[in-house]
Amino acid sequence: MLHYALVFLVVAIIAAVLGFSGIAGTAAWIAQVLFVVVLILAIVSVLRKKT
């Protein structure tokens, strides 16, 4: 899932450079949401292994 977050981040950067602000904003938002989900899952995984 982190892979998809990075893919959407790259798409957002390329779209922003090319001037597609709507696509860039949407791709950046999706990348941010996926990154937060990965971060939450990583924290849950670490906490489960400690107990």
Closest CA to 34 of 42, 44, 46, 23: 42
Model confidence at 49, pLDDT cuts 50, 70, 90, reads: confident
Number of domains in the chain: 1
The answer to whether 48 touches 29, Cβ cutoff 8 Å, is no
Q: Which domain holds residue 26?
A: 2-50
**What predicted TM-score, i.e. pTM, was given to this entire model?**
0.81
pLDDT digits (tens, 9 = 90+) for 21-42: 999 999 999 999 999 999 999 9
Q: Which tokens sit at 43?
A: 């924290």
